[in-house]
Structure 1
């Protein structure tokens, strides 16, 4: 009887034990804020400005459409972190989850839904006049985004820095580093 009680107690303890949290970069599972988890930067979400405000202030802006439960968005998140490092004081970075944009009418040029094509991730760069100077989807190369931002702003925060590449340093995190 004592043996059976001990076995039942052990089974109850194992069943009640907290389960390890699992996050997976390569799955379409919801793991939480992808910028905090996979890019190491939770300050990107929520964005500090809206597209409407950036356009009204005549500031260059980068809108990134993403989903927290998309492996493609998870893999792209370090790129936005690097853009913040390079351009954070010069342009508005506006990462937007597409959940709120789905199945609704867009309301004009200042509405992010106006520019979203249904792809994730999607990057749209606006110049200070509100014109789209870059629009691409998928694993967009950071150098292409930087080129568009240099054209939009006339600034070059990377002068002499060269090309960049993404390097993974564990199963969850990666960073953008100089190529070479």
Structure 2
């Protein structure tokens, strides 16, 4: 009887080793089949908020105000339509951040992920969907009265946006003006450390 019992226990032990080996093999195959998440500025893969990842500027999203609030205050607005998984938008995030550096205090910078625009048949001029043309990136500059002074698709150069804002704010043209100074986002105040 002891011989049969020991043979039975030996078969169970062999069976357990076989199941263990099969589980290890399945886990290894699963790990090998997992594709790494590769994303970068030169592809159309999602890797997070483009302003944080590629422009180093998390202060752009969410915007401080809606377009309706901005127009109600008669403040100029800069609308930047984008998607987070577009190569062109990833590359253009730096320019949008640059616009904020120079005009962020005087105008409202409103980046809009087109995925968040509600699907409607018509939009009011106080809604961002009113200005969206169906392509990204797209920029729209509105003056203090809400009139469109620039509406372009693609990677619009900063200089062209700067020219429109100079007209809106009645500034000298770039050719006749001193170079604009950037404002720092991470200034250290010595008064706070006292």
When normalised by structure 2's length, the TM-score is: 0.71
Q: Residues 9-32 of structure 1, C-alpha deviation per residue, up to 9 Å, x if partnerless?
A: 799589669986532112111111
Matched residue, 2:81? 65
Q: Which moved more, 1:42-51 or 1:93-102?
A: 93-102
Q: Residues 46-72 of structure 1, C-alpha deviation per residue, up to 9 Å, x if partnerless?
A: 111111111000000100000011111
* Secondary structure of the corresponding residue to residue 42 of structure 1: coil
2:54 and 2:122 mapped to 1: Cα distance?
30
Matched residue, 2:51? 35
The residue correspondences of 1:124-135 to structure 2 (distance < 5 A) are 124-135=140-151
When normalised by structure 1's length, the TM-score is: 0.76
Number of residues of Structure 1 aligned to a counterpart in Structure 2: 158
Q: Residue 150 and residue 14 in structure 1: after superposition, are their counterparts in 2 closer, same or farther (change >3 A)?
A: farther
Residue 139 of structure 1 pairs with residue 155 of structure 2: yes
For the 8 Å contact 1:128–1:153, the answer to whether it is kept is: no
2:106 and 2:171 mapped to 1: Cα distance?
8
Q: Note the aligned Cα RMSD (angstroms).
A: 2.7
Q: Residue 147 and residue 86 in structure 1: after superposition, are their counterparts in 2 closer, same or farther (change >3 A)?
A: same
More strand by proportion, 1 or 2? 1
* Secondary structure of the corresponding residue to residue 44 of structure 1: coil
Residue 75 of structure 1 pairs with residue 91 of structure 2: yes
Q: Residue 10 and residue 41 in structure 1: after superposition, are their counterparts in 2 closer, same or farther (change >3 A)?
A: farther
Residue 160 of structure 1 pairs with residue 184 of structure 2: no
Which structure has the higher relative contact order (CA within 8 Å, separation 6+)? 1
Residue 44 of structure 1 pairs with residue 69 of structure 2: no
The residue correspondences of 1:90-101 to structure 2 (distance < 5 A) are 90-101=106-117
Greater Rg by CA: 2
2:100 and 2:73 mapped to 1: Cα distance?
19
Where do 5+ consecutive residues of structure 1 fail to align? Answer: 163-180
Where do 5+ consecutive residues of structure 2 fail to align? Answer: 1-19, 181-194
